[in-house]
């Protein structure tokens, strides 16, 4: 008999809800991925790389050209240059980079602070490596609660995981939050894991408060990014991690025996494509228009929308519609009303009592959003 290492873990809610959407023909606003095509230029670049024979292993930390392009883009946006040779590693997606960072530094018994609702890979990954997830919660309106986090710090805390823009909440961290984090980490050897995969999906003209902006944070941080969210290519599973040399050395020790290296032709394509700022600069306004279209349409529904400051997720309260728990309600909305969504409770160690929230992905064509809105307004 196999003794499970993750006895309480089932199949991720994203797979469950996307499968349900397919089964009952529901519009899929559950798992976060765009339903529109990618830029032809990007596909051409991948094809060209394959035809040029770039089909064998890339160097373990990533193609030098891509690491240089990443360092240049990060410097342009956040004013700090990571060394592409020693501080930048290309990963097979943000999730793999998070897994590798945790695996590299979390020892058995180490505590890792996770802020619920939290992206669902965090806690199981910590447990796989013998760490102890310590769960705190976001505060009212899904905003960061610095006091709650500070109180969870103990001499055993090895890592704090933060996420901005936040999935599933759709809120962002701001300068004042980052300053509180600096204070609480000062004088400790706690590592920060800053999941910034939605860096370009920050709305209403606000800046993205990257950990990279703050020397006291970046010198202790793994900062994780994703190409899928920026270039609408979630299925390519491409991302990267940044960290100071000493930390990145440990990261690469794990990375080399986990994936070894990421997809070669796609790395060539991304290196060329990301050099053009126009290819990512339009992303915030593009998604802000979708957020607004969805919010506008949903204002005629009985759902109450929470603030969406970033990411491509809108959280909505359905208390005015039903007292069912969110898993039951989400199933009913998918089967009975034809829209698949994500319930919030799987993102908690212990979901708050009587919380009735669903997450909607608005990374969809306008026609898809309009069709979903029409169905949701009938509930
Ligand atoms: N990041 C996506 C979401 O939040 C899901 C990715 C996945 O299914 N692993 O919906």
The 10s digit of each residue's pLDDT in 16-61 is 999 999 999 999 999 999 999 999 999 999 999 999 999 999 999 9
Alpha-carbon distance 155 to 189, whole Å? 9
Protein residue with its CA nearest to atom 2 in ligand 1: 32
In sequence order, which residues have a C-beta less than 8 Å from that of residue 314 and are 6 or more positions away? Answer: 170, 291, 294, 295, 298, 305, 306, 308, 359, 360, 362
Ligand 1 centre to CA of 32 (Å) is: 5
What are the two backbone dihedrals, phi and then psi, of residue 366, each rounded to the nearest 5 degrees? -55, -40
Q: Is 113 helix (H, G, I), strand (E, B) or coil?
A: strand
The CATH number assigned to the domain holding 346 equals 3.90.1150.10
Ligand 1 centre to CA of 31 (Å) is: 5
If asked whether residues 368 and 249 sit together in one domain, one would say no
Residues with CB under 6 A from ligand 1: 14, 31-32, 167
If asked whether residues 70 and 217 sit together in one domain, one would say yes
| Of 279, 302, 322, the domain-final residue | 279
pLDDT in tens, 58-74: 999 999 999 999 999 99
Alpha-carbon distance 69 to 161, whole Å? 26
Ligand 1 centre to CA of 183 (Å) is: 32
In sequence order, which residues have a C-beta less than 8 Å from that of residue 282 and are 6 or more positions away? Answer: none
If asked whether residues 270 and 292 sit together in one domain, one would say no
If asked whether residues 20 and 155 sit together in one domain, one would say no
Ligand 1 centre to CA of 51 (Å) is: 31
SS in 3 state form for 287-347?
A: HHHHHHHHHHHHCCCCCEECCCCECCEEEEECCCCCCCCHHHHHHHHHHHHCEECEECHHH
pLDDT in tens, 202-241: 999 999 999 999 999 999 999 999 999 999 999 999 999 9
Protein residue with its CA nearest to atom 8 in ligand 1: 14
Task: State the pLDDT confidence band at 140, using cuts at 50, 70 and 90.
Answer: confident
Is residue 176 assigned to a domain?
Answer: yes
Alpha-carbon distance 33 to 209, whole Å? 24
Protein residue with its CA nearest to atom 4 in ligand 1: 32
Protein residue with its CA nearest to atom 9 in ligand 1: 14
Is residue 2 assigned to a domain?
Answer: no
If asked whether residues 69 and 208 sit together in one domain, one would say yes
Average pLDDT, the chain: 97
* Beta strand 111-116 pairing with 239-242: unpaired
If asked whether residues 21 and 48 sit together in one domain, one would say no
Alpha-carbon distance 103 to 341, whole Å? 31
Task: Look up the domain containing 332 and give its range.
Answer: 13-31+282-376
pLDDT in tens, 69-88: 999 999 999 999 999 999 99
In sequence order, which residues have a C-beta less than 8 Å from that of residue 373 and are 6 or more positions away? Answer: 294, 297, 298, 300, 301
Is residue 368 assigned to a domain?
Answer: yes
| Tokens standing for residue 220 | 């202790």
Protein residue with its CA nearest to atom 7 in ligand 1: 14
Alpha-carbon distance 302 to 313, whole Å? 18
Alpha-carbon distance 320 to 81, whole Å? 49
Quick one: which atom of ligand 1 is closest to the CA of 15? 8
Protein residue with its CA nearest to atom 1 in ligand 1: 32
pLDDT at residue number 93: 98
pLDDT at 15 over 90: yes
If asked whether residues 274 and 288 sit together in one domain, one would say no
If asked whether residues 304 and 372 sit together in one domain, one would say yes
Quick one: which atom of ligand 1 is closest to the CA of 119? 4
∠ Cα 138 142 148 (to 5°): 20
| Tokens standing for residue 369 | 């959003």
Ligand 1 centre to CA of 119 (Å) is: 8
| Of 219, 245, 279, the domain-final residue | 279
If asked whether residues 74 and 21 sit together in one domain, one would say no
Is residue 79 assigned to a domain?
Answer: yes
Ligand 1 centre to CA of 139 (Å) is: 23
Q: What strand order describes the sheet that includes 157-163? A: 88-91, 239-242, 221-226, 191-195, 157-163, 111-116, 132-137
Ligand 1 centre to CA of 15 (Å) is: 9
Ligand 1 centre to CA of 187 (Å) is: 35
Separate counts of helices (H) and strands (E) for the chain: 15, 13
Is residue 4 assigned to a domain?
Answer: no
In sequence order, which residues have a C-beta less than 8 Å from that of residue 43 and are 6 or more positions away? Answer: none
If asked whether residues 149 and 236 sit together in one domain, one would say yes
Average pLDDT over residues 255-274: 98
Is residue 126 assigned to a domain?
Answer: yes
DSSP letter string over 186-201? TTS-PEEEEE-TTTT-
Is residue 1 assigned to a domain?
Answer: no
If asked whether residues 262 and 322 sit together in one domain, one would say no
pLDDT at residue number 141: 87
The CATH number assigned to the domain holding 224 equals 3.40.640.10
Please name every residue paired with 310 in a beta bridge, in sequence order, or none if there are none: 202
Domain count along the chain: 2
pLDDT at 378 over 90: yes
Q: Which of 35, 120, 166, 167 to mutate to test the pocket of ligand 1 (most atoms within 8 A of CB)?
A: 167
Whether the Cβ atoms of residue 359 and residue 180 lie closer than 8 Å to each other: no
Ligand 1 centre to CA of 323 (Å) is: 27
Is residue 357 assigned to a domain?
Answer: yes
| Of 262, 279, 296, the domain-final residue | 279
Alpha-carbon distance 8 to 346, whole Å? 12
If asked whether residues 17 and 89 sit together in one domain, one would say no
Quick one: which atom of ligand 1 is closest to the CA of 94? 1
Alpha-carbon distance 239 to 307, whole Å? 27
pLDDT at residue number 275: 94
């Amino acid at each position: 008999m196999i003794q499970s290492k993750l006895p309480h873990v089932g199949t991720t809610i994203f797979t469950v809800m996307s499968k349900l959407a397919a089964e009952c023909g529901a519009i899929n606003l559950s798992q976060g991925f765009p339903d529109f095509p990618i830029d032809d230029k990007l596909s051409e670049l991948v094809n060209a790389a394959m035809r040029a024979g770039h089909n064998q292993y890339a160097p373990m930390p990533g193609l030098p050209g891509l690491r240089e392009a990443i360092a240049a883009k990060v410097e342009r946006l956040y004013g700090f240059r990571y060394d592409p040779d020693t501080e930048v590693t290309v990963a097979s997606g943000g999730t793999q980079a998070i897994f590798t960072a945790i695996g590299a530094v979390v020892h058995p018994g180490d505590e890792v602070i996770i802020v619920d609702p939290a992206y669902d890979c965090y806690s199981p990954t910590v447990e796989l490596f013998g760490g102890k997830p310590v769960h705190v919660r976001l505060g009212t309106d899904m905003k960061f609660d610095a006091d709650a986090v500070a109180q969870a710090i103990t001499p055993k805390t090895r890592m704090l995981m933060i996420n901005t823009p936040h999935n599933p909440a759709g809120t962002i961290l701001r300068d004042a939050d980052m300053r509180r984090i600096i204070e609480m980490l000062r004088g400790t050897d706690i590592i920060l894991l800053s999941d910034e995969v939605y860096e370009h999906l920050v709305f209403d003209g606000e800046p993205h408060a990257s950990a990279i902006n703050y020397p006291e944070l970046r010198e202790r941080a793994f900062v994780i990014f994703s190409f899928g969210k920026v270039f609408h290519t979630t299925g390519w599973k491409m991302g990267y991690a940044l960290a100071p040399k000493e930390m990145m050395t440990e990261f690469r020790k794990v990375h080399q025996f986990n994936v070894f290296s990421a997809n070669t032709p796609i790395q060539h394509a991304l290196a060329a494509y990301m050099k053009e700022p126009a290819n990512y600069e339009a992303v915030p306004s593009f998604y802000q228009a979708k957020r607004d279209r969805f919010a506008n349409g949903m204002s005629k529904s009985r759902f109450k929308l929470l603030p969406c400051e970033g990411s491509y997720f809108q959280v909505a309260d359905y208390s005015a519609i039903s007292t069912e728990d969110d898993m039951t309600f989400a199933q009913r909305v998918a089967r009975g009303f034809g829209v698949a969504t994500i319930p919030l409770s799987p993102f908690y160690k212990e979901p708050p009592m009587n919380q009735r929230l669903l997450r909607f992905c608005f990374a969809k064509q306008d026609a898809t959003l309009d069709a979903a809105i029409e169905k949701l307004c009938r509930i």
